Amino acid sequence: MPSKPSNLSLISKVYSLTIQSFQKNPKIYLPFAIFALIEFMALMLLYLAPRPPLRALFGPPIASIWGEKFLHYPANFFLLPKLAYYSRMGLSVVFSSLLTGLAVAMTYKRPLNSAYKKYVSLFLIVLIMTVIVFLGVKVITASLLKYFYAGHSKLLFWGPDMWFGPILTVLNFVVAILVQAPFIYAIPILIAGDQKFLKAIFHSFLVFKRYFVVSLFLVGLPMLFYIPVVFLYSNTAFLIDKFFPEVMLLVAILSVIVNSMVIDPLMTISTALLYSLEKEKI
């Protein structure tokens, strides 16, 4: 019986296969580029939301949820990162689910129809992941708010400045990794045609359990590329004051590039290839 390779050698093998896949078949990159383009177009709409004629469409919800002031220059640029975040969530569920499926199908050299046919399942998988990440982040933020509003000045040696600054950012990262990692194999399992929707999720949990450390690494490592964007977003007021308000649009574009052109391809293809290695063994 062959011995189980070490985590490190498995990770390096998967990444080497990932790079080879992109080199041999650059078309794999196309779904991610398409999604980046969709996200970019949505971002442009959000950037132009305070101006007519788009203001008629976006103005009322922005004013009622966040306040009328965010429809004015330069306050709109303070809201832009949040709007971009919510827009990405929605677009991921509707478009990225299918496009990720297409990329996995290309990686497995399966007909693209295999992704189109399973759009509903892909949609539901991404929807579940997105909702759990969203709720996880909300629960953490609300708990911290409740704790500090109750009059406490410190939690585990740190005050609200630290908790609502870097620590919350790290916690959000951890939530994103811990939620995405167990679900990450569900799309490759679906596209490989092995299982139905619920079984694919269940099977994904099993693969995650088997490759716990490797999975966390394959999901978490690409996310580190996002740290500079988080740093820029957390200094919004400083950037606007020192440079110009439109700098936040540039940061949002950078966020689209890093998310859709770096993190998503690396995470999706590497985990898909790890699953194919797992299958080969079986």
Partner 1 sequence: MKKLSAIILLGACVLLSGCGQDQYAVERQYYWAQKQAGVIFNNPHATPPHELQKSIDTFNQLIREYPKSNLAVDAQFIIANLYIATEEYEKARLQLSKIIKIYSKSQPICAAAVFLQGNSYEAQNLWDSALEQYKKVIEDYPWTVKGIETPIYIAQHYKVKFQPDNMVEAYKEAIAHYTSLSREYPLSPVALRLKILIVQCYGELKDWKAVVNTFDNVLAEYKGRVQLDGILLDLAMVYDRGLKDKVKAKETLGKLIRDYPNSRVLPLAKSLLKQVSVK
- Read off the tokens for 237: 């007021």
Helices 97-107 and 119-149, interaxial angle, to 10°? 130
User: Please, which residue, 220 or 245, has the CB nearer to partner 1?
Assistant: 245
| Minimum CB–partner distance for residue 50 and partner 1 (Å) | 5
| Minimum CB–partner distance for residue 48 and partner 1 (Å) | 4
User: Please, which residue, 2 or 53, has the CB nearer to partner 1?
Assistant: 53
| Minimum CB–partner distance for residue 43 and partner 1 (Å) | 11
Closest to 144 in 3D by CA, of 126, 183, 121, 170: 170
Angle at the Cα of 195 from the Cα atoms of 192 and 196, rounded to 5 degrees: 120
User: Please, which residue, 57 or 213, has the CB nearer to partner 1?
Assistant: 57
Amino acid at 251: V
The pair phi, psi for residue 196, each rounded to 5°, is -85, 180
| Minimum CB–partner distance for residue 57 and partner 1 (Å) | 9
- The C-alpha atoms of residue 86 and residue 96 are separated, in whole angstroms, by 14
| Minimum CB–partner distance for residue 41 and partner 1 (Å) | 9
User: Please, which residue, 54 or 132, has the CB nearer to partner 1?
Assistant: 54
Query: Which residue ranges make up the site for partner 1 (CB under 8 A)?
Result: 44-45, 48, 50-54, 72-74, 245
| Minimum CB–partner distance for residue 122 and partner 1 (Å) | 23
- Helix extents (H) in 108-118: 113-117
| Minimum CB–partner distance for residue 47 and partner 1 (Å) | 9
**Kind and range of the H or E run holding 272:** helix 264-281
Question: Based on the number of CB atoms within 10 Å of its own CB, is 137 exposed (0-12), middle (13-18) or buried (19 or more)?
Answer: middle
- Read off the tokens for 13: 């093998």
The pair phi, psi for residue 49, each rounded to 5°, is -55, -35
User: Please, which residue, 40 or 134, has the CB nearer to partner 1?
Assistant: 40
User: Please, which residue, 91 or 214, has the CB nearer to partner 1?
Assistant: 91
Residue 74: cis peptide before it, omega within 30 degrees of 0 = yes
User: Please, which residue, 51 or 209, has the CB nearer to partner 1?
Assistant: 51
